[in-house]
Amino acid sequence: MHRGLDFVARIFLTLAAALAVASCGSGAVGSVVVDPTTITILPGADGTPATLYSGLPTTFTITGGTGTYIVSSSNQAVVQVSGTVTGNTLTVIPNPVVVDTLVTLTARDTGTTLPASVQLLVKPGTVSNTITITPGSTACSPAICSGGDAVIATTISQGGIPLPARGVRFDVISGDVRFITSAAGAPETTALSVTTVTDEAGVARARLRALDTAANQTAIIQITDLGSGAYQRTTVIIARTSATEAGFFTVPTTITFTGPDNTRCASGASSEFFVFGGSPPYTISNPAPTAFVTNTSVVGQSGGSFRVTTTGQCASDITFAIRDAAGRVTTVTVNNQPGSQDPPPAPLAVAPSSLTLTSCTATASAVIVGGQGSYVGASENGLVLATVTGSILRVSRLSGGPAPSSVTVNVSDGRSVVPVTVLLTGTALGVCP
């Protein structure tokens, strides 16, 4: 009976200890025990390679050890990871691969705990980077006219091999577009998301409808391979069109350049403006050639662009007129303004850089410029005194000796140091009373 009670008591104490550890918040992360003597990486800790897809983020959790980790990859061309991890999570986005590629991810802490490694199986991304958008009308091409439709398509493949009968979801991330979900000939219904299946060539397609009320804008569409979770995003340009508008617009419509500090505007900075719709070619008018330079005065086709580059002259609300072949006019607004930061100080300097003391009572001085504006001077020899008053450095001979023929005095503004050579000649070399 005594042995039975002792066994029960040990079980009770063990459970109580486990509960006490868990209640302190340091016993477990999810269902994984945090062991200070062992580093654990999840997923992949069970020895099964974690499956990743090119371009798709995967987050790993690292626990144990000292809590500060240095992570490295065995193949930096595929998984570019090397250095200290902030916190205990690491998000990896593999680079494109053509075939399945194994990569080893290793984590070590700042102590003596043995490093831990997991295998990553990186698979080729399945959603093609080439996404085509074909408007139903060329009136606003390459944009979609408001109220118009388009077909969006991409190829789902792996390692160059198309994947037929693959589930693919199209989602509207932002913008005034919807997917047409009704069958041809039926009353039109639309939605923000639609799921389709790839054909025998691995191509997935969906029909888009731009809203009648859509203004000039750029919508964002996401295409997700449901089999792998891999996805790509693309932009759809919508052109406003009505009885009085012909979808003539620019992207962007305004831009502001900012200088490096609060005393200067940007110089040599540039931005591209794309012109859509209307009746090309387009003529560009630059009203401020001393402040901005354009690379061309004519854009030949819809979707073409012109570049605006700053000269360094400040300017506000400069309106560039873009006129199409039918006489329609749209505009872009360009600004060039000073920055918000103070300009960096001039480098710390002392002139002259060499001073001479010819006797025990002689003094010499130099002017300090630049730097942070708060200066101190320090002599490397106790027989030469260095003092700074405002921006003037003064040196003199102190009693004692004999003195060396050259002493260095360092002038500092708190960030940088400039040495000044003090030469001693005549009686300044001897013993001074």
Q: For residue 322, which phi and psi values (nearest 5 degrees)?
A: -115, 115
| C-alpha distances in Å from residue 360, one per residue of 355, 425, 431 | 14, 10, 8
242: phi then psi, degrees, rounded to nearest 5: -155, -165
- Measured in degrees and rounded to the nearest 5, phi and psi for residue 264 equal -140, 150
What is d(CA 425, CA 406) in angstroms, rounded to the nearest whole number? 9
Q: Is the peptide bond before 164 cis (omega within 30 degrees of 0)?
A: no
Q: 249-337: which CATH topology?
A: Immunoglobulin-like (2.60.40)
Q: What is the pLDDT of residues 281-293, one digit of tens each?
A: 999 999 999 999 9
Structure tokens at 417: 């140091």
Q: Is-contact 275 299, C-beta < 8 A?
A: yes
pLDDT per residue over 141-161, tens digit each? Answer: 778 888 899 999 999 987 678
Does 387 or 12 have the greater pLDDT score? Answer: 387
Average pLDDT rounded to a whole number, residues 406-424: 93
By the 8 A CB rule, do 231 and 225 touch? yes
- pLDDT, mean of residues 89-97: 87
Q: pLDDT tens digits for 299-345?
A: 998 889 999 999 999 999 999 999 988 888 889 999 999 998 888 88
Amino acid present at 219: A
Query: Which fold would CATH assign to domain 32-123?
Result: Immunoglobulin-like (2.60.40)
CA distance 93 to 131: 21
For the residues 66-84, what does the mean pLDDT come to?
Answer: 88
Residues 57, 92 contacting (CB under 8 angstroms): yes
Instruction: Give the integer Cα–Cα distance in Å for 68 and 110.
Output: 6
Residues of the chain above pLDDT 90, percent: 51
319 three-state secondary structure? strand
Reduced to 3 states (helix: H, G, I; strand: E, B; else coil), residue 115 is: coil
Extents of the domains making up the chain = 1-28, 32-123, 132-239, 249-337, 349-429
Q: CATH assignment of 132-239, given 1.10.10.10, 2.60.40.10, 3.30.200.100, 3.30.2290.10?
A: 2.60.40.10
Contact 384, 403 (CB under 8 A): yes
Contact present, 146 and 157 (Cβ < 8 Å)? no
What is the pLDDT at residue 265? 95
The predicted-structure confidence for 230-243, as pLDDT tens digits, reads as follows 888 999 988 877 65
353 has pLDDT over 70? yes
DSSP 227: T
Q: Matching CATH topology for 132-239 and 349-429?
A: yes
Q: In this structure, which CATH number among 3.50.50.60, 2.10.109.10, 2.40.40.20, 2.60.40.10 belongs to the domain 349-429?
A: 2.60.40.10
